[in-house]
Chain A
């Protein structure tokens, strides 16, 4: 019997992503370089140049053009891909809305990086939290294995006819993008079978010509189309769960659910995280558990759609919950806090605290997570800045 794995290889997150794109048999790639995403597109350019990947590669002059180009190629009916980071994805904000509004099942990778000024190329998730309302599904990866698998899963979910929305797949700058880990490379034939060929009912049709993205006034179905988008995203959770199980079954993989609940069964106190810092948080949970403290972690694998019901189920019985943001919103608490609090409002009565960590690549240490867990026991309701002081 042919194995569902091709081989195991030590690779960086960016390499893992590029291999995932190759496995998904993408036909058009348009990309612009930005640190720390650049090696993804370099790797893909190599694959195309060496004939390992049969794809068009458009070396666009900006991120706005990268997204505009793949939106058009996807609309023509071929699977398309791009990757970006930080200021690049901010520059893409307008065409991100356009791609989602046209219901095009693109997948893109984003290496999470800080936003200037001051210029800073290190890890932080503000760039993609700023895109949470663009109509893209959002996945935050914890490992390089997830970074690769989420590309395949991403296309499968995006192209599901009940969803038809693009997927944004995140990995943290350097911690994942440039750090090597062992990764099971999925078998190419099996992967190609899994994603299949793109069948886009709404692709550009020369026999029955139409306008794609045409004008609509207040009495046209503008609002109905937006509602359908919102419903398709919000109701996608069941489909996503099925697709994750299907993926795990087909590839003997270990993707979590929309949330990854770690030692939550009998926990009294827990934190909510997203991305690679979750590994440090899990280490801390295990360490505190050994000392007899009943703590746990909820990692958000999916952030859009927001798995509110899953979070609700996981937090029942807790005495305190802390939401950790590696992003910053001004003038209000963090966006994850708002999402968690909204999901729990009126249904459980648990104090929720909010922590801001790791901006601009600031280290998030085990002792920082220990402090957050201590703080949960007695803390007040203010936002807390972790590992921040006068330098």
Chain B
């Protein structure tokens, strides 16, 4: 199989991310796919710290930092500002975490997509507020420990289901919606090249495992990412022209194999794991049905 991942690097060493950070791999692959004619908008998130202190930056493209809730509006303004100068050929990319997307930034994202600006919104999903110290977000999955769902003696883990923002974007009929995982970089690069070919708002949600937040060995980031897809807890799909295409992994593994690698699920009893397994199966069947429509 030919190598489909561009060799060019637009993210350099010298950043401040943790060892094994999935969010840095997400940024690296996104920039490889989008190329040097890009500007990245970053709201408050791990990525507002990772590039380094002023005046240094570990990226080879301009980075515009914004307040937490501002990513959707800022990419809108940046797009229109560049277009007003005839710079239609530059990519405008939001790179926001799950808190900045599923929670505080959801209104801005939804409105930017509704207005139809020619932008790419990347949600790097590490399933909690990691930069502030692992607090629960709307994108935190059922069963997870976080510092605000601390389990305790009352088994107060996250009792609510994950909000799948990509599903919301499908409901909004965005021109292009995809989910991706850093453990499947060829798939991510292909999705980026599709996104690049579409004029209008694009949304890609990339599962970005977080060693300290998910409590696993930092060498296992790619493994955890692949298990998320193979266990179907994080299905990879693509939505274009109103049509959903679901990626069916050639190898499937039980959900428990994904969960057991991570300390954030270590408190779960077998009966609780079964609840997660059946929810995963239910969502998978629902996506299969949507694919048939």
Q: How far is the CA of A58 from the CA of B119 in the complex (A)?
A: 14
Q: Mark B76-102, 1 if CB is under 8 A from A, else 0.
A: 111011111101001000000000000
Once the chains bind, are A77 and B85 in contact (CB under 8 Å)? Answer: yes
Once the chains bind, are B65 and A211 in contact (CB under 8 Å)? Answer: yes
* A28 / chain B contacts, CB cutoff of 8 Å: 77, 80-81, 84
The reply to whether the CB of A255 lies closer than 8 angstroms to some CB of chain B is no
Q: How far is the CA of A211 from the CA of B41 in the complex (A)?
A: 10
Q: Mark A7-42, 1 if CB is under 8 A from B, else 0.
A: 000000000000000000001101000000000000
* A226 / chain B contacts, CB cutoff of 8 Å: none
| Of the residues A59, A72, A215, A216, contact of B115 by C-beta under 8 Å | A59
Once the chains bind, are A75 and B64 in contact (CB under 8 Å)? Answer: yes
Once the chains bind, are A60 and B111 in contact (CB under 8 Å)? Answer: yes
Q: How far is the CA of A214 from the CA of B57 in the complex (A)?
A: 9
Once the chains bind, are B63 and A65 in contact (CB under 8 Å)? Answer: no
Once the chains bind, are A69 and B76 in contact (CB under 8 Å)? Answer: yes
Q: How far is the CA of A56 from the CA of B87 in the complex (A)?
A: 14
Which A260-314 residues have C-beta < 8 A from chain B? none
The reply to whether the CB of A145 lies closer than 8 angstroms to some CB of chain B is no
Knowing A66-B73, A204-B64 touch, does A215 contact B48 (C-beta < 8 A)? yes
* A73 / chain B contacts, CB cutoff of 8 Å: 77-78, 80-81, 84
Residue tally, chain A, CB below 8 Å to B: 42
| Of the residues A56, A65, A209, contact of B62 by C-beta under 8 Å | A209
* B75 / chain A contacts, CB cutoff of 8 Å: 72
Once the chains bind, are A58 and B115 in contact (CB under 8 Å)? Answer: yes
* A205 / chain B contacts, CB cutoff of 8 Å: 62
CB distance from A199 to the nearest CB of B (A): 13
Which B48-72 residues have C-beta < 8 A from chain A? 48-49, 51-57, 59-67, 69-70, 72
CB nearest to B58 among chain A residues = A211
CB distance from A186 to the nearest CB of B (A): 23
CB distance from A374 to the nearest CB of B (A): 49
Once the chains bind, are A94 and B84 in contact (CB under 8 Å)? Answer: no
CB distance from B119 to the nearest CB of A (A): 11
CB distance from A216 to the nearest CB of B (A): 5
Once the chains bind, are A211 and B54 in contact (CB under 8 Å)? Answer: yes
* A209 / chain B contacts, CB cutoff of 8 Å: 57, 59-63
The reply to whether the CB of A117 lies closer than 8 angstroms to some CB of chain B is no
CB distance from B233 to the nearest CB of A (A): 32
The reply to whether the CB of A325 lies closer than 8 angstroms to some CB of chain B is no
Which A48-75 residues have C-beta < 8 A from chain B? 55-56, 58-62, 64-66, 68-75
* B90 / chain A contacts, CB cutoff of 8 Å: 206
The reply to whether the CB of B37 lies closer than 8 angstroms to some CB of chain A is yes
The reply to whether the CB of A95 lies closer than 8 angstroms to some CB of chain B is yes
CB nearest to A29 among chain B residues = B80
* A69 / chain B contacts, CB cutoff of 8 Å: 73-74, 76-77, 80
The reply to whether the CB of A119 lies closer than 8 angstroms to some CB of chain B is no
The reply to whether the CB of B39 lies closer than 8 angstroms to some CB of chain A is yes
CB distance from B293 to the nearest CB of A (A): 29
CB nearest to B41 among chain A residues = A72
* A204 / chain B contacts, CB cutoff of 8 Å: 39, 62, 64, 78
* B56 / chain A contacts, CB cutoff of 8 Å: 211, 214
Once the chains bind, are B53 and A65 in contact (CB under 8 Å)? Answer: no
Once the chains bind, are B70 and A68 in contact (CB under 8 Å)? Answer: yes
* A95 / chain B contacts, CB cutoff of 8 Å: 67, 70
* A80 / chain B contacts, CB cutoff of 8 Å: 77, 81
The reply to whether the CB of B108 lies closer than 8 angstroms to some CB of chain A is yes
The reply to whether the CB of A331 lies closer than 8 angstroms to some CB of chain B is no
The reply to whether the CB of B107 lies closer than 8 angstroms to some CB of chain A is yes
Once the chains bind, are B55 and A68 in contact (CB under 8 Å)? Answer: no
CB distance from B216 to the nearest CB of A (A): 27
Q: How far is the CA of A135 from the CA of B235 in the complex (A)?
A: 47
Q: How far is the CA of A209 from the CA of B85 in the complex (A)?
A: 18
Q: How far is the CA of A212 from the CA of B55 in the complex (A)?
A: 9
The reply to whether the CB of A220 lies closer than 8 angstroms to some CB of chain B is yes
* B69 / chain A contacts, CB cutoff of 8 Å: 64, 68, 94
Once the chains bind, are B80 and A206 in contact (CB under 8 Å)? Answer: no
User: What are 9 pairs between A and B in contact, CB < 8 Å?
Assistant: A55-B84, A64-B108, A65-B76, A68-B74, A69-B73, A75-B78, A206-B61, A211-B62, A213-B66
- Apart from the given pairs A76-B87, A211-B51, 5 other A-B contacts in the complex at a CB distance below 8 Å: A62-B111, A68-B69, A69-B73, A95-B67, A216-B53
Residue ranges of A at the interface with B (Cβ–Cβ < 8 Å): 27-28, 30, 55-56, 58-62, 64-66, 68-78, 80, 94-95, 98, 204-206, 209-217, 220-221
